[in-house]
Amino acid sequence: MLRRSTAPDLNQDGSTALERALAQPMILGLFLPLQSGAWSPSMAPRDTHWGFDYNAECAIRAEELGFDLVFGLAQWLGKGGYGGEMRFREMAMDPLLVTSGLAPITRNILLISTVHILYGWHPVQLAKFAATIDHMSGGRWGLNMVTGYKPSEFHMFGLDDIEHDVRYAMADEFVTLMKRLWSEEENLTYEGPYWSMQDAFVAPKPVRGRPVLVNAGTSPATIDYAARHSDFIFITSPAGADPAAACSALPAHNRKIKLAARALGQEIRTIINPHVICRPTEKEAKQAVRSILDNRDPVAASNFFRSIGGGGGGKLSWSATTEEMWTVGGNVHLVGTPEQIVEWFVRLREAGCDGLQVNFYDFLPDLEYFGKAVLPLMFEAGLRHRPGL
Ligand SMILES: Cc1cc2nc3c(=O)[nH]c(=O)nc-3n(C[C@H](O)[C@H](O)[C@H](O)COP(=O)(O)O)c2cc1C
């Protein structure tokens, strides 16, 4: 049975969800498991489910625990998803619709949705959708604008795939037009290289000027786009899933992104998404990893890895990952006791990451344990302000 968040209303002091996130020493978000199998092509036992009720409970619990944001990725796969016995990610809820459903049952947390803007969207249409969800959520909606990196997705929509940097030029024009539609009080007529509109108008305007803007990736074109438009950029480790290697490579990467933004007079926050496997003892945490690997779906793991990891579709973003890393859960792996996890969080902060967006293997129980055992240590380590402070 779906319930509403019981978190105290943090908006009463006039603060916005974005301001509250930015005021934290380390931004904290949760990846939502909108796709069947979430991040791990493994059949090790778990109750994680792609359905709306399960994801709603994840978002509500994250809010009650004081997280700043939840985020949904979007992917378009054919029959069987990434395949294998588990038909990895065949079931996939649309994050735009899910975040609109989450708006009235949460009250504080940012709801960030991915949208593939090149798969048939027009700036007027998305500007209107965004303003609508922004109102439904009281100014808590965020847009992760992605341009799509899989030719198969373009083909699914009957489109030819588009060269990498052209995609970002299209995205730049798209978001610039949405910003104008969100702010201008007169009809807009425009004829550009990629988009055109005549007497276009969006009302209501978003609650606070514009929704939170986010993008994800690694390439120079992505960083250039992020520097100009985004509040947050979702980053990956340039050195793969090993956290020590990631912490060596991340300072230069984070610096490059922030310098690019500052050169334009902008501030951007970098958010990395570690896969957290935390147990009371290191032995138990390592056993959990072993169980994920021992129960891997080999076909799904191989397809998933080949299409994204190891420099597959993700190119620079996941170039240093291996199939084994990708089976456990993609991105940086943090495995250990609550103390060890928080030590890694501190090191990621020192490496210039402004935020964490955590993935789990089994979302609700792992989130619950995170709230009980890891969050208090984050307060102690100065990574998070205690509620009410
Ligand atoms: C945390 C994170 C989330 C992402 N979410 C999506 C997504 O939901 N859908 C998608 O098509 N691409 C997603 N991407 C891929 C990026 O948009 C981008 O295409 C990819 O990282 C390649 O980077 P590049 O464009 O800089 O080469 C995500 C990337 C990251 C790091």
Q: How far is the CA of 230 from the centre of ligand 1 (A)?
A: 14
Query: How far is Cα 67 from Cα 26, in angstroms, rounded to an integer?
Result: 10
CA of 290 to the centre of ligand 1 (A): 28
Q: What are 283-331's pLDDT values in tens digits?
A: 999 999 999 999 999 999 999 988 875 444 555 666 667 888 889 986 8
pLDDT of residue 163: 94
Q: Is the CB of 71 under 6 A from ligand 1?
A: no
Locate the ligand 1 atom nearest the alpha carbon of residue 73 and give its number.
8
User: In this structure, what DSSP letter does residue 127 have?
Assistant: H
Q: Which residues pair with 332 in a beta bridge?
A: none
Question: For residue range 113-137, what is the model confidence (pLDDT) as tens digits?
Answer: 999 999 999 999 999 999 999 999 9
Which atom belonging to ligand 1 lies closest to the Cα atom of 222? Answer: 26
Residue 306 CB-density burial (10 A; 0-12 exposed, 13-18 middle, 19+ buried): middle
339 CA distance to ligand 1 centroid (A)? 30
281: left (phi over 0), alpha (psi -120 to 50) or beta: beta
pLDDT of 386: 86
Please report the pLDDT score of residue 282 as a whole number.
Answer: 98
Q: Whole-model pTM?
A: 0.96
Instruction: Output the pLDDT for position 82.
Output: 96
Q: Which atom of ligand 1 sits closest to the CA of residue 223? A: 26
CA of 68 to the centre of ligand 1 (A): 21
User: What pLDDT is stored for residue 106 in this prediction?
Assistant: 98
The confidence score (pLDDT) of residue 318 equals: 67
pLDDT confidence of residue 153: 95
> Which one, of 253, 268, 272, lies nearest residue 331 by Cα?
272
What's the gap in Å between 49 CA and the centre of ligand 1?
Answer: 22
Q: Which two tokens stand for residue 114?
A: 């991915």
177 vs 316: which has the higher pLDDT: 177
- C-beta of 106 in contact with ligand 1 (< 6 A): no
C-beta separation of 321 from 309 below 8 A? yes
**Residue 336 forms beta bridges with which residues?**
278
pLDDT at 367: 98
Mutate to test the pocket of ligand 1, among 73, 233, 235 (most ligand atoms within 8 A of CB): 73
- Residue 285's contacts (CB-CB under 8 Å, 6 or more residues apart) are 277, 278, 279, 335, 336, 337, 340
Question: Residue 97 Cα, ligand 1 centroid: separation in angstroms?
Answer: 19
**359 in ligand 1 pocket by Cβ < 6 Å?**
no
Q: What is the mean pLDDT of the chain?
A: 95
pLDDT in the model for residue 170 = 98
End-to-end CA distance of the chain, in Å? 33
pLDDT of residue 322: 81
Pocket test for ligand 1, best of 146, 168, 269, 308 (most atoms within 8 A of CB): 146
User: Residues 274, 348: contact at Cβ < 8 Å?
Assistant: yes
Under the banding of pLDDT at 50, 70 and 90, the label for residue 240 is: confident
- Alpha-carbon torsion (189, 185, 224, 242), positive or negative: negative
270 within ligand 1 shell (Cβ under 6 A): no
Over range 67-81, report the average pLDDT. Answer: 97
What pLDDT, on a 0 to 100 scale, did the predictor assign at position 314?
54
Q: Tell whether ligand 1 has an atom less than 6 A from the beta carbon of residue 35.
A: no
Q: Is 340 in the pocket of ligand 1 (CB under 6 A)?
A: no
Q: What is the DSSP letter of 317?
A: G
DSSP string of 259-311, one letter each residue:
HHHHTTT---EEEE--EEEE-SSHHHHHHHHHHHHHTB-HHHHHHHHHHTSTT
**Calpha distance 45→42 (Å, rounded):** 9
Each residue's pLDDT tens digit, 7-18: 999 999 999 999
Return d(Cα 146, Cα 118) in angstroms, integer: 8
Q: How many CB atoms lie within 10 A of CB 170?
A: 18
Q: What is the pLDDT of residue 309?
A: 56
Q: Report CA(147)–ligand 1 centroid distance (Å).
A: 8
Nearest CA to ligand 1 atom 21: 217
